[in-house]
Structure 1
Amino acid sequence: MLLLVGLLGAPGVGAQEAPPPPPAEAASSTPRDDPPPTPEPPPPPLEPTVLDAPFLDAEPPPPAVPPRALRPFIPHGEPDTEAPLSGGTWAAHGGVALLPLGAVWGATRVGGDTRLGATAAEAAAGTVLASLPGRFLFVHPSYPQGRWLELEVGAFGAAMVVTPPVAALGTWGMGEVAFGDSQDRGRAYLGALGGATVGMLLGIAAHEGLRHLAGSSERLDFLRRYLALSLIGSGATVGYQWSRTPTPRR
């Protein structure tokens, strides 16, 4: 009997002697006195050292794209007014001077009016009126390296448009008023206008060709301009005489 009681009561006695474990809620609710983590300070700024500076005698690395070759700056020099002209240049000027005279004589052969004085007066009137806007036909680029400015382009273009009608008006007016009117005045003026346009193109070409032969010399510059303008007037005369039909005199 005692043995049975001892066997049954031994587990109970061992269980009462063992202390109960602390509850989880109580353990988690106890406050902690640990301090919060302090942030790390930022790293100090980098300072350049002697090793970072490039050497003075070191060559720079080649660029990824090769540099573009620039045109040299060539300013316009002052024209040499005393530069001599070659014999061929003088001969070219003399040959071009004969063109207006030949055109005036040819005007007497293509129309009904064979008077040389009348055709010469008509050519002179066309030349005088053409010289008013025609001075802008000889504008050249003033910017270095031959670059045209907007004002120069506008003046040259306006002169090309205005000069032929003005020259044709001078030739046509002189022929109609002083030397007898035409049967069809409109056709006569259109003929003068066409002749003045062709003469203007020939005059500009002759002026630039002679100027190229003269080079830097400004000698005979006035003669070159006069020849170009006289080609306009004589061309208007040839066109006027070729297209007009004189009114028969009573």
Structure 2
Amino acid sequence: MDRALLLAGLLGAPGVLASEARPPQEGPLPVAEPPPAEEPPPPLEPTVSDAPFLDAQPPPPAVPPRTLRPFIPHGEPDTDAPLSGGTWAAHGALTLLPLGTAWAATRVGDDSRLGPIAAEAAAGTLVASLPGRFLFVHPSYPQGRWMELEVGAFGAAFVVTPPLAALGTWGLGEVAFGGSEQRGHAYLGALGGAAAGMLVGLAAHEALRHLAGSSERLEFVRSYLAFTCIGTGATLGYQWSRTPR
């Protein structure tokens, strides 16, 4: 058995050596196909880094849309705009208001002299016109919104005008026309009359201004109509509360 295996091995060895020594076959070798070309990457674009900067603020929260009111422009003042006949009649009728108040001042108290009472009313009107011009401040914002300075000017004039008007009427009456026995009581009467006259004058001014619309005619008359209401109101209160010496 061992001899048979040895003989088979010796006979197969030359075939193996012949196959290993066989020259390679001549001919074109297969060419490997190149790999498909890859598309170039897209150009880089500047982007914000995902990491936030140290001083970056977070975006504000989303705010729902708000419904805005329609813009309604106010009429521009027109100096040459005509006034209706009713507006002229209203101006003339309200002009009689301070005249009636001055006449009523001659019917109260113990002093019925027309000259001194007219002078006291004129003094109160003149002093009231100094700070009182700020009583007619109107909002400059198109939607009628008041600004801080406008509110401050109106509030200061509203507080200061009656005491000053009462001081003008009371001072002239005490110095030039005999004075009164109780000066403090007389001044308080003038102060109350000036405050009431200011409210009436402001109401009359705004009513006439509403009738006039965008026209600026008779604006001076409307302002001094309000001032005369303050002055004659102070005179009426002074004459009603004073007791001549």
- 1:195 aligns to 2:197 (yes or no): no
CA distance in 1 between partners of 2:69 and 2:221 (Å): 35
Task: Name stretches of at least 5 consecutive residues in structure 1 with no aligned partner.
Answer: 1-43, 45-64
| Identity in percent | 80
CA distance in 2 between partners of 1:72 and 1:133 (Å): 36
Which of 186, 204, 207 is residue 206 of structure 1 equivalent to? 204
Task: Please give the per-residue CA displacement for 1:36-69, whole angstroms capped at 9, x wherever unaligned.
Answer: xxxxxxxx9xxxxxxxxxxxxxxxxxxxx98543
Which of 111, 117, 137 is residue 109 of structure 2 equivalent to? 111
Q: Aligned residue pairs: how many?
A: 187
The 5 A counterparts of 1:15-164 are: 67-164=65-162
Name the aligned partner's letter for residue 139 of structure 2: P
CA distance in 2 between partners of 1:230 and 1:114 (Å): 19
Name the aligned partner's letter for residue 117 of structure 1: G
Paired residue secondary structure (1:141): coil
CA distance in 2 between partners of 1:69 and 1:202 (Å): 40
TM-score normalised according to structure 1 size: 0.72
Structure 1 residues 129-138 or 66-75, which shifts more?
66-75
The 5 A counterparts of 1:164-243 are: 164-243=162-241
CA shift for structure 1 position 70: 1.3
Paired residue secondary structure (2:79): coil
CA distance in 2 between partners of 1:71 and 1:117 (Å): 56
Task: Name stretches of at least 5 consecutive residues in structure 2 with no aligned partner.
Answer: 1-40, 42-62
CA distance in 1 between partners of 2:229 and 2:186 (Å): 19
Moved over 2 A (4+): 65-69, 73-78
CA shift for structure 1 position 201: 0.4
TM-score normalised according to structure 2 size: 0.73
- CA RMSD in angstroms comes to 1.9
Task: Please give the per-residue CA displacement for 1:117-149, whole angstroms capped at 9, x wherever unaligned.
Answer: 111000000000000100000000001100000
CA shift for structure 1 position 168: 0.1
